[in-house]
Structures are given as structure tokens and as C-alpha cells.
Amino acid sequence: MADTEIETKGVKTKLRDFIVNNFLFGTDELHFDDDDSFLEKGIIDSTGILELIEYLEETYAMTIEDDELIPENLDSLNRVEVFVGRKMSDGKD
Amino acid sequence: MPAQFSLSGLLLDVPAEVERISDSVREILVKKLKRQGVVVALSGGIDSSTVAALCVHALGAEKVYGLQMPERHSSDNTLDLSGLVAGHFGIRTHFQDITLILETVGCYQKQEDAYRQVIPQYGPGWKAKIVLPSVLSGDTLRLFSLVAVSPEGKEIRKRLTLNAYLEIVAATNFKQRVRKMLEYYHADRLNYAVAGTPNRLEYDQGFFVKLGDGAADLKPIAHLYKTQVYQLAEYLGVPEEIRHRPPTTDTYSLPQSQEEFFFSLPYDKMDLCLYGKNHGLPDSEVAFAAGITVEQLHRVYGDIEQKRRTAAYLHAAPQLAEKIKEIVAY
């Protein structure tokens, strides 16, 4: 469990970097907080969600199943952090 | 609670609306576009048939030029139905099968290559379409899957990867863009304008290809809910076969409903939800009229908002770094 905490600690920071560099050209034009919805805030659209899924699958060597594709898991930095933490934790069981 | 609101909220004063649109079409052509008629691409569907009928009403049949442009994946009755409309309203038409053009630009090859990225066994004799999960059944993010059927009838469904999705959409969009290129060829040689055929659902939600079917000089029914388009179609005498045909995308090799490709609900329910949302009607009334739960209605509203955000790019004119004050758009 302690290992998982250490591994997931950087999830939000790395994801924020990914979003800022990939979708916002490295600028802070669309300031977003950790709880802001990516979709509602217009940070990424449904195509961007596909890109986010591939980023998470590659970065954390995980497979995201169809029934996990819900806003609750993927639509803010905090939600992704919890989701990734849970997936990694499940993988260690 | 009994519904206070139903499809009757969408009923038009049809004769008055037909005259209003006709006045608008004439004014647009005379005062703004300076063109002497209109080109309409006829798909055999309700929208293009109604636009053709409206333009005939507004301008006379001799000022309307219809184009029939089927391709390899068009349904068998596309040509019959579009021909029926043209004959019924007495408009000139030009037929051009665009399959060869699409083959030349690689549309079909690129589509199939992209299909094989997710379903490697896809090959000759297979058929495919892309589909979205239902917005009613759960809170799933609406991401496309590829559905392919082998010649033996075996169906495979796989979620699309980013690259496969983008490639399929890009290759498929050749169809709408080739048609639009030909529409403008005929419009240029006739000194006509191009009439686009989106209804309100399509225009609002971005159910069109940028610079494909989204390109036009005028869009006479873009303000009308689909239910209202049917009202005009009946009044204008659009043949019954067309008015009773279920809406289809007529774009992929497998038959594809507009609900599985784009909209959350069948058009009549979608109309009710969009109308209810636009007019701020109570959720319980709109949900009751549409035959869904309030929770499902909220998901439909969320989907409408998401599509509007995505459609902003499709509606956007070319963006300039600085405004040029001497140039005034209409």
C-alpha cells in the first residue's frame, strides 16, 4: 500500500504536465483546478479523452475497461488520481 | 404528473412558416448572395427533400438544380428516393456516382486500413460502422466502437483507439467533402448558390462535416426542429415514401441509425429534449413527454452541452490574428 501511495503521488502532477503540454501548448490560458471537469471546462473534448486514456494506459501499464470509461474516473485531475490509485492497488492484489 | 408539454409544443403554423422561409430564401439570393438559383444535393432523406421543395416554392422549379451523388456504401433506395423527389417537384438533376473519386483519393482503402488497426481480420466482404454507447443506459463517456460483420455474419465490436478513430473519421469525411466540391462546381457554372440541408438538431449539435455537408451559402431549415421539418414536408407534398423512411446516416457499409452514430435519442424525443432545454421547461415535464427518467434527461442535457462545445470548432469561420475592418461578412 505504501508503494502505491508513492507511485500515485505524482499522478496529478504528471497528468497536469501532459494536459498543459499536449492540449494547451504549454500555456496557462485555461487555468484549471484539480477538481475542474476537463469536459465542462473545455480543456479537452471527447477526442482528448481518447488521448487521455492512451496516456494512462501507456504511462501506468494498465488496461482501462469499457465499464470504467465514466466521468467519475476520468474527468478531473483528482478523479484520475483516485482511479489510477485504485487500479494500481487492484493490480497488486 | 400529467405532461403539460408534448410534441404539440413544436407545432408550427406551417403555411406561414413556408412563406416566411420562402421570403428569406429570395431575399438572401437577391440582396446578399447575388445568385440566380440554388443547387441542392438530394439524398432521398427528409431534410434535403424538404429544402428542395421549399426552394421550388420560393424560386420556381427551373431555378433549382438537384444533384444525386451516391457512392459504394449508399443504401439501395437512395437513388430511387432522390429521383422520386426530383421528378415530383419537376427539378433538373445531375447524376454522378462518386465511388471512383473516393477510390482515387483513397477513402475506402484508408477506412479499411483503420478498421484493421482494431480488427486485424477485417477483409474483403466485411462490412463496418462506428457506434456510440447509449446515453440512456448509463453514465459512460460517449466514445466510439467499431462494429464489423464478416461475410459469414460474425459480428465483432471493439473500442476504437485514438489513431483508428481519427483516421476513420478523416477518411469517411471525404464523402461529404467530395459531394460539396461537386455542388460548388455546378453552382459556379450555373451562377447558383448552394443550399445546405441541416435541421436544427444537426446544426445545433454539430452533426455535419466541416467544409463537407456543413458548407453552404444558405441553410433554410437550420432553425427547424426535425419534427417541424416533417410538418413542412407534408404540407409541401414531399412523397410519403420519404416522409416515412427512418433517418439514416447512409455513410458506412453497415446500416447505421443516427442514434447509434450521434444523437442520444430518436429524433422526436431528441426534439422534445432540445426544445425543453432551450425553453427552460421543467425537467419532470420534458422527461415525461420524452418517455425517459429525469436522471436520463440530465444525461441527455449533458450530452447536448458536450456536443455544443465540440460543435463550436465546426461552426467557426477562419480565425484571424487581427480583424480587417474593411471586410464585412454578411
What does the DSSP assignment read for B263-296? -SS-HHHHHHHHHHHHTT--HHHHHHHHTS-HHH
pLDDT score at B110 = 98
pLDDT score at A9 = 63
For residue A45, the chain B residue with the least C-alpha distance is B310
Q: Which fold has domain A2-92?
A: 1.10.1200
pLDDT score at B260 = 76
Predicted TM-score (pTM) of this structure = 0.91
Chain B residue numbers with beta carbons less than 8 Å from the beta carbon of A54 are: 161-162
Minimal CA separation from B115 to chain A, in Å: 17
* Residue B166 in contact with partner chain A when CB distance is under 8 A: yes
CA dist B125 → B55, B76, B148, B256, B304 (Å)? 41, 17, 11, 18, 36
Count of positions (residues) in chain B: 330
Say yes or no for a CB contact (<8 Å) between A39 and B306.
yes
pLDDT score at B140 = 84
Cell 458506412 locates to: B252
**Cβ–Cβ pairs < 8 A, chains A and B:** 42
Say yes or no for a CB contact (<8 Å) between A71 and B139.
yes
Of A39, A69, A72, the CB nearest to B143: A69
pLDDT score at B246 = 82
φ, ψ dihedrals at A8, nearest 5°: -85, -10
Chain A residue numbers with beta carbons less than 8 Å from the beta carbon of B139 are: 70-72
SS3 B248: strand
Of A39, A51, A74, the CB nearest to B162: A51
SS3 B94: strand
pLDDT score at A4 = 52
**C-alpha closest to that of B83 among B72, B71, B69:** B69
d(CA B197, CA B15): 20
Residue B141 has pLDDT above 90, yes or no: no
d(CA B311, CA B141): 17
pLDDT average, residue stretch B195-223: 97
**C-alpha closest to that of B150 among B118, B121, B126, B116:** B126
Q: Which fold has domain B106-166?
A: Methyl-cpg-binding Protein 2; Chain A (3.30.890)
Residue B5 has pLDDT above 90, yes or no: no
Cα-Cα-Cα-Cα dihedral sign, residues B88, B91, B94, B99: negative
d(CA B187, CA B39): 6
Cα-Cα-Cα-Cα dihedral sign, residues A19, B142, B150, B98: negative
SS3 B284: helix
Cα-Cα-Cα-Cα dihedral sign, residues B53, B58, B62, B67: negative
DSSP bridge partners of B94: B67
DSSP bridge partners of B193: B38
DSSP B31: I
For residue B311, the chain A residue with the least C-alpha distance is A45
pLDDT < 50 regions, chain A:
1-2, 93
DSSP3 helix / strand / coil % (chain B, rounded to 5): 50, 10, 40
pLDDT confidence of B9, banded at 50, 70, 90? confident
**C-alpha closest to that of B129 among B261, B274, B300, B297:** B261
Chain B residue numbers with beta carbons less than 8 Å from the beta carbon of A66 are: 140, 159
pLDDT score at B250 = 79
CATH 3.60.70.12 describes domain B7-103+171-254: no
Contact A33, A70 (CB under 8 A): no
Minimal CA separation from B91 to chain A, in Å: 41
Chain A residue numbers with beta carbons less than 8 Å from the beta carbon of B305 are: 40
pLDDT confidence of B1, banded at 50, 70, 90? very low
How many Cβ atoms are within 10 Å of A33's Cβ, its own excluded?
9
d(CA B234, CA B240): 8
Of B161, B306, B310, the CB nearest to A54: B161
Kind and range of the H or E element at B151?
A: none
**C-alpha closest to that of B209 among B115, B111, B315, B108:** B315
Listed by start position, the domains of chain B span 7-103+171-254, 106-166
Q: Could you give the angle at which helices A46-59 and B162-190 cross, rounded to 10 degrees? A: 150
